[in-house]
Structure 1
Amino acid sequence: MASYDRHRAGGSPRPMETGDTWWYAAVAGEAAGSFSARVRTRTRRACLGAVLLLTVVYAGLVLTATGRRWGDAALTGRRADTAAVDLLRDHPSLAGLTTFSLAAGCVLLLAVGLIRKRYALTGAAAGAVVTALALTLLLQRYAPRPRLVDTGGALVPSGFPGIQTTLALGIAFGLVLVVPYRLRSLAVGAGTLWAVAVGAYTIAAGRHRPGDVIAAALVVLAVECGLLAFLARKGKVRPGPRRGPFLPGLPVTVPLALLTAAGLGAGLWLLGDTLSLPATAPYDPAELRLAHRCGQALAAGVTAATALVLLGLLRRVDVDGAPVPYRLGGPFVEAAGVPREGELVGPFTDDLDHEIS
């Protein structure tokens, strides 16, 4: 609402910041079928869908005996997978490199936003990462699950969801808010490929089960979609140009699409064989190796798919920069005088004899 508009009787004031669009543009943005309403609807539905899938993953892989047995087999099968064993043995610095890359990703996210002077959006991106981490820790600590003990009788801490994947994918999705519109697909795609690598390392190193990585990706997607729905509710989104970030992002979106198709296809194909493991040991090393590779494929496919879903939701949606102000022509502008360069013109005359009803 412009500064020279009087509030209607009995109405609630909705003051707008300097430089925002006109009051009638804000009203139109909240109307059913408007651009902001459409963005808010689809991001809210995506958030609820991610929460629903997270519930299904939790019920299937944590609460059922078959799911826990499959996760344990995938975790144990890393020792039978010679490719993973050789990689970790030949490159012991991967643990430190993973930690360093996570710290560097946090710095990069904040630096890009601050350099581009997108302070509010940088704070929102950082808040989304912190929220996802907080939800991850709460689920690890308080989500009901059977008590698991190791061979020595000590209680095994829960790793559901995986905190490293939550942080890495949260940083990748946070780039949506701070990078320029044309570079969004490139930045988010590259960040997601890095998050896939982080998740694969945590599974190969035995820090997390495949279900932990899948759950982390769904948590981050739900938080990010919830944040985008909130921004759309506040009118902070607008249509992007038709020539958007599609072509610059092809070098990373194509590998993401291939990884999604190959990971989900191979993982679901192998899942039927790995779920038929016997209830008690001993297990065939070939079956354990198959379970590990199945888990790796599913975790990589789901993580890549979440990025494609986010980029699809934001197709031709820009959250960067200030909205374009509306201008009027005709007798109202003539009565108000000819505006100077860069000056916004109000729809009413200087006598202020008006009231919004």
Structure 2
Amino acid sequence: MASNDRPRTGGSPRPLRAGDTWWYAAIAGETAGSFTARVRVRARRGCLGAVLLLTVVYAGLVLTATGRRWGDAATTGRRADTAAAGLLRDHPSLAGLTTLSLVLGCVLLLAVGLIRGRYALTGLAAGGVVTALALTGLLRLYAPRPRAAGAGALLPSGFPSAQTALALGVALGLALVVPQRLRTPAVGAAALWAAAVGAYTLADGRHRPGDAVAAALLVLAVFCGLLALRARRGEVRPAPRRLPAPASLLVFLPLALVAAGGLGAGIWLLGDTLALPATAPYDPAELRLAHRCGQALAAGVTATAAIVLLALLRHVDVTGPPPPYRLAGPFVEAAGVPEDEELVGPFTEDRDHEIS
């Protein structure tokens, strides 16, 4: 290559290697090890990891007898948990408020994107939510499940949870439409709301804990895949590095506590509740413990999914085109272009050049 080749603006700070030039970046879309390549690889790994964990949850909690027994115990244990049962009994309007909050969450997602004029990103976020809900419906209809003993019908199951998928889909969709400086507080607050929606569905007996966990992993896989696709098309660029705002810390710290505390307490309690006897009757204390274990695991996984996406989008701007390239060299001056003028692309005005 010619000695006048220039590295990509805002690209990788590592030393140049053969082929890492602005010309290659402009023609091929990205260089090996460039910023977009790193974002794509991280997002793709996040997507594959979420799919793998979803498979493990499905195999462990749906296909095995031990997992089904634990899920049934966690669902039954909601009646033995006097705190949750008393809250639902004293506040019957929570069902309507949960549905209303889901509708308002969808409206908020669309309104923020349209008001900011980010029509493509709004469509991408809405498409992610719709895709997650569609995959949820397909899994609920066609995922194989064990048959009930002595009956031909399948065991009733809400795997995965549509309410959790919708709530977390709205939360992760906000990461694409809100300004970069407000991404952490917006996504963090919405993820806490999604964890609360999942906790209500478990306390109300609509879903088992595995349903909410699977929904969170499914939504994370969908949005990681969308981020990888956007990076593959070269539609991400480095974001300015700033110190975290106080509002971000005020929201992120509770989210991190829910993730760490939920996963830690849920895994710790899971070891005790998996040892339930194979047949009834069960000790009410064991059922209550199973229910609280499921609540902790579902909340921890939901919060962790939001943290993973925020980590993948750290210092990533998804709202702008790739940065322009600055040309220099003898053929630029020969074309009559001023030295301080910045052009987009590798070609000069007269399209007359040589590739060495």
**Does residue 39 of structure 2 align to residue 35 of structure 1?**
no
Q: CA deviation at 1:206?
A: 0.2
Q: CA deviation at 1:180?
A: 0.4
Q: CA deviation at 1:349?
A: 4.4
**Does residue 295 of structure 2 align to residue 296 of structure 1?**
yes
Counterpart of 2:135, as a letter, is L
Partner of 1:231: 230
Distance 1:245 1:184, change over 3 A: farther
Q: CA deviation at 1:248?
A: 3.7
Q: CA deviation at 1:262?
A: 0.9
Contact 1:186 1:245 in 2 (8 A): no
Partner of 1:354: 353
Moved more, 129-138 or 25-34: 25-34
- Taking only aligned residues, the RMSD between alpha carbons, in angstroms, comes to 2.5
Partner of 1:80: 80
1:144-163 matches, cutoff 5 A: 144-148=144-148, 156-163=155-162
Q: Distance in 2 between matches of 1:245 and 1:321?
A: 21
Distance 1:30 1:330, change over 3 A: closer
Moved more, 240-249 or 274-283: 240-249
**Which string of whole-angstrom CA distances, capped at 9 and with x for unpartnered residues, describes residues 201-232 of structure 1?**
00000000000000000000000000000000
1:201-240 matches, cutoff 5 A: 201-240=200-239
Partner of 2:319: 320
**Which string of whole-angstrom CA distances, capped at 9 and with x for unpartnered residues, describes residues 56-111 of structure 1?**
00000000000000000000000000000111011111101110111111111111
Distance 1:107 1:23, change over 3 A: farther
Distance 1:354 1:158, change over 3 A: same
Q: Distance in 2 between matches of 1:350 and 1:218?
A: 50
Distance 1:348 1:303, change over 3 A: closer
Q: Distance in 1 between matches of 2:333 and 2:280?
A: 86
Contact 2:258 2:300 in 1 (8 A): yes
Q: CA deviation at 1:268?
A: 1.1
Q: Distance in 1 between matches of 2:345 and 2:140?
A: 54
Q: Distance in 2 between matches of 1:41 and 1:348?
A: 29
Partner of 1:119: 119
Contact 2:325 2:345 in 1 (8 A): no
Q: CA deviation at 1:323?
A: 3.6
Q: Distance in 1 between matches of 2:314 and 2:30?
A: 20
Distance 1:356 1:165, change over 3 A: farther
Q: CA deviation at 1:23?
A: 6.6
**Which string of whole-angstrom CA distances, capped at 9 and with x for unpartnered residues, describes residues 18-42 of structure 1?**
xxxx875434652211111111111
The percent of aligned pairs where both chains have the same amino acid is: 78
Counterpart of 1:99, as a letter, is T
Partner of 1:196: 195
Q: Distance in 2 between matches of 1:353 and 1:328?
A: 14
Contact 1:149 1:155 in 2 (8 A): no
1:1-357 matches, cutoff 5 A: 24-27=24-27, 29-148=29-148, 156-243=155-242, 247-329=246-328, 331-337=330-336, 344=343, 348-354=347-353
Contact 2:236 2:320 in 1 (8 A): no
| Residue ranges of structure 1 left out of the alignment (5+ in a row) | 1-21
Contact 1:242 1:316 in 2 (8 A): yes
Q: Distance in 1 between matches of 2:344 and 2:26?
A: 16
Contact 2:128 2:169 in 1 (8 A): yes
Query: What secondary structure does 2:62 align onto?
Result: helix
Q: Distance in 1 between matches of 2:237 and 2:210?
A: 36
* Count of residues in correspondence between the two structures: 335
Query: What secondary structure does 2:197 align onto?
Result: helix
**Which string of whole-angstrom CA distances, capped at 9 and with x for unpartnered residues, describes residues 168-200 of structure 1?**
000100111100000001111011000000000
Counterpart of 2:102, as a letter, is L
**Which string of whole-angstrom CA distances, capped at 9 and with x for unpartnered residues, describes residues 145-183 of structure 1?**
113489x99765320000000000001001111000000
Moved more, 183-192 or 245-254: 245-254
Contact 1:128 1:223 in 2 (8 A): yes
Query: What secondary structure does 1:144 align onto?
Result: coil
Distance 1:241 1:62, change over 3 A: same
Q: Distance in 2 between matches of 1:117 and 1:238?
A: 19
